Structures are given as C-alpha cells and as structure tokens.
Structure 1
C-alpha cells in the first residue's frame, strides 16, 4: 500500500465516521458576513461528499431578485421573513452543508429550527480579518453606511453573544480555506455524539 493509498483510506474513514454520527442532520455554518461560510462551506461539502447549499442564493432564487434589490425594494424586515421561510425548508433536506446569512441565526425561530434539526458551527473571526474580506465585495446592504467598520463592529457586538449558542465554535483566521475546513472537521469529530453501540445478535447462525 502506498502513502497515497493510506492517506485516502484515512480520509474515507474520517468521512464515514463524521457522516454516520451526523445522521440525517445538515451541518449549518453560522457567523458574521465575511467569515468564510460559503467559500469554506463548499470545500467542506466536497470533502464530505455532501451537497453545498447557500441560503442567500436560495433566497435570491425564491424572490427572483438579488439580496441588494430585496433590501432596496422591501427593506430588511421583508428579507428576514423570506430568509426564515427558506431556511426552514432547507433544514428538512437532510445531510448537507448549509451556509446561512449573517443575520439568520439571530432570528429566534430560525435559531430554534437549526438547534432542533441541524448541527451548527459558528465561524468566529476578528474585526480586522472580517473587514479585509468584506472590502472585496462592497455591495453588502448592511454596510452601505458612512463608516462600514463602525457598523461592522456594532453588528459583531450585537450578534456574537447569540452566535455563541451554536453547537460548535471554530476560529476563522486569516489562513487558507483548507486550514479553516480542517478546524471544522476537528470540531465535528470532537463534538458530534458518538455512535450508539450495536447490541450483539442474541442468536447467531442458528443451526
């Protein structure tokens, strides 16, 4: 057996272990905008051979509008109602990697649904890391303010205590996406419930 074979075998065993312990629940990534939920989520889904779903993209499909257009035309409250309905539907779709928008987990009903039907992972990040990332995409509706960094700091102060209710927390540092994915895999291995031991057959091969 070559080194590559051994590596592939270990990956398969790790993948199988996580998926069996996950059961029928989705992995739900939560956290502030720019923490890497979509980019890392895609890699995580590929590693675990699961579908990747971006809740924001599903909201845009359902509304036939971009999120910026939804905010501009109807406001944040309207968007949050649509977000709540879409995520409730996605939570019933079984094992997958689901990346949620930054405000989704803040909604009480959505948070309860995620706690009941999913396994949530908070991708925690510090302000400088977040700002370096969000500046690359200046169209985010909540940051259309005179001082985006102050706005982000306020959002983090409000939301981080709620994100703490997630099942697991990892740090999304300024490292490769693969390194952050590895943090999530480690958290899943450490935090998922163990598999129930199967009772031995009372009678085997009756003769």
Structure 2
C-alpha cells in the first residue's frame, strides 16, 4: 500500500515536470517564431522569398512563425542566414541586437560619459517625436493603487489590443509569485527581470497596453526604453487614494503596525514625481470611474495621431 502511494506521488511529480518542460518548450518556439516573423517584416521579405532563399518550405515557415514548428538547428541557421542575422538573435530571451546595434554600441563606448548622456537625451527626444517608432503601445505608470490594471483592461477592450502586466510576465518567466521573487532575487534582481520582460514585450512590435511596476521610473535604462517606445500615461492619485485602494483590495501590509505608512507614501511620491512627470500625459484618477479615465487618455491629440498613423 505504502509503495503504491509513493509510486503515485512519483508519477504525479514526473507528470508535473513533463508539463512544465512542455510549457517551456512551447513558449520558446513561440518566441523563435515571433522573432523570425518580426525580422522578416522589418526587412520587407515575403514568406515566399524567404522560402526560396533559405530552402525551407513556405508551409514550414508558416508553422514556424506561428510557434508550432519544432525547428532543427540546421534549418534555423539557414533561416538566420537568409534574414542576414546571427542565429542567436532568433533564440535569445532578450531583445535582439543586430549588426547595426553592435556598431552603435561600439561607437558609444568610445564617447565620454557626458557625450553619452547628451546623445541619449537627443535620441530619446527624436524617438518620442516619431509615431513610427512608438506605434500606439500605451504604458501606464504610477504607484500601486493608481488604477493601472482596471484602466489598462478598459483600454484593451476599447482598442481591441492586448493588455500586458509586466509583474505577471515576471511571474511567468520565473514561475513564482512576486512575493517569492523579491525574497529570492531582491530589489535589484526584480528590476533586472522587469527590464528583460519589458524588452520581450516590446520586441514583438505589437500594439498593446502595458502596466508597469510603480518603481520602474527608478531604473533609468528601463524607463528610458519605456519613454522612447511607448506613449506613457501617469495615472496620478493622492496618497490617501493610493492607500485606500490598496487596502480595499484586501492588502493591509502597507499599514500593518506602521504608524508612519502615510508619511512614507508621501515621501515616495515626492521622490518619484519628477520622473513620473516625464510621461506624455498625466491623468488625475481620484474619485473617477475607470471608463472616464480611459476616455480622457484616448482624447489626447498626440495619442490619436499615433493610432491614426498605425491604422
């Protein structure tokens, strides 16, 4: 009897591991497929032409781009050569770096620190003024309790584009809840994971609504990436509104045994305000229904131009 129970336990554990491997493999194939499709479209290469150049059938390329083709290393190399990229670009979890990007990185390495800062500021200004670069990916920023999830879901329905929460992407990547991630990896590890997931979302090139962590503005490289590739909306709420919403969600941790919780929240808002103000638009959310907030965001002239340009 005991042996049967132990055997069943081992079988369940093996089954769980097998399902995890299968899920990971599926995600990997989807990543490779989306990467190939994105690069092919950027280079304005039809699937038929890619098939002719790579020797890979058009039907198999279609399966590959949909994430259903279990490609061999040899075939992947053929496709990469025809796209004029290194094979690792197609399989990396990070955003792809092509030859031009490597050249720019080399040039930047030769600049002084001040020159790099000036170059970065100029580049960000140009990218933010280019509808083609930003499409209409809308990034919602602000502290927890600002309404990013509810407003993001509403915008997603109105615009019929996906809603992506970076914190949920981190949990999927690590296969652990956020609370455990902070314990295991710490704040710095979380920020590294946050940037990786943001790069992965942006690398797809798809229009979407992105909800970010409240502290993303403190990670300069990740925030610069967000500013240069998305239309950013600061959902601004008063300290009391932030606290009331978090508590209403059933999370009493911010105030449990902490008489200075409100003062600390005010300090965080003051510290981050100048960074939040770099957003394209600020929308006050105190006492407002998510539908009203979404309508205010969509009424912005700059965003309407981005949507019209994409459509």
TM-score range relative to shorter protein = 0.7 to 0.9
Structure 2 unaligned spans of 5+:
1-130
- Aligned residue among 268, 277, 287 for 1:155: 268
- 1:97–1:179 CA distance, 2 compared to 1 (3 A): same
- Provide the TM-score with structure 2 as the length reference: 0.51
Aligned to 2:232: 120
The answer for the alignment partner of 1:134 in structure 2 is: 246
The CA distance in 2 between the partners of 1:140 and 1:109, in whole Å, is 32
Pairing 1:51–2:162 present: yes
Q: Aligned partners of 1:134, 1:83: CA distance in 2, in Å?
A: 22
2:298 is aligned, of 158, 180, 185, to 185
* Cα distance change on mapping 1:130 and 1:66 into 2, 3 Å: same
What is aligned with 2:123?
none
- CA RMSD in angstroms comes to 2.7
Query: C-alpha separation between the residues in 2 aligned to 1:75 and 1:143?
Result: 22
Q: How many pairs are equivalent?
A: 176
1:102 aligned to which of 214, 224, 233 = 214
- How many angstroms apart in 2 are the aligned matches of 1:55 and 1:143? 25
The answer as to 2:283 corresponding to 1:170 is yes
Kept in 1, the 8 Å contact 2:142–2:214? The answer is yes
Relative contact order, CA 8 A, sep 6+: which one is greater?
1
User: Is the CA contact 1:92–1:117 (under 8 Å) kept in the aligned structure 2?
Assistant: no
Q: TM-score, with normalisation over the residues of structure 1?
A: 0.75
Secondary structure at the aligned position of 1:135 is classed as: helix
Match of 1:73 among 184, 200, 204: 184
Once the two structures are TM-superposed, the CA of residue 148 in structure 1 deviates from its matched residue by: 2.5
Other structure's SS at 2:278 match = coil
Tell me how far 1:120 sits from its aligned partner: 0.7
Distance 1:76 1:140 in 2: 21
Deviation at 1:171, TM superposition (A): 1.0
Higher percent of residues as helix: 2
Contact 2:163 2:209 in 1 (8 A): yes
Answering whether residue 175 of structure 2 is matched by residue 64 of structure 1, we say yes
Contact 1:30 1:99 in 2 (8 A): yes
Query: Following the alignment from structure 1 to structure 2, what is the Cα–Cα distance between the partners of residues 48 and 60?
Result: 26
Aligned residue for 2:248, secondary structure, equals: coil
Per the alignment, in what secondary structure is the counterpart of residue 88 of structure 1? Answer: helix
Does structure 2 retain, via aligned residues, the 8 Å contact 1:50–1:96?
A: yes
Question: In the aligned structure 2, how far is the partner of 1:141 from the partner of 1:109?
Answer: 30
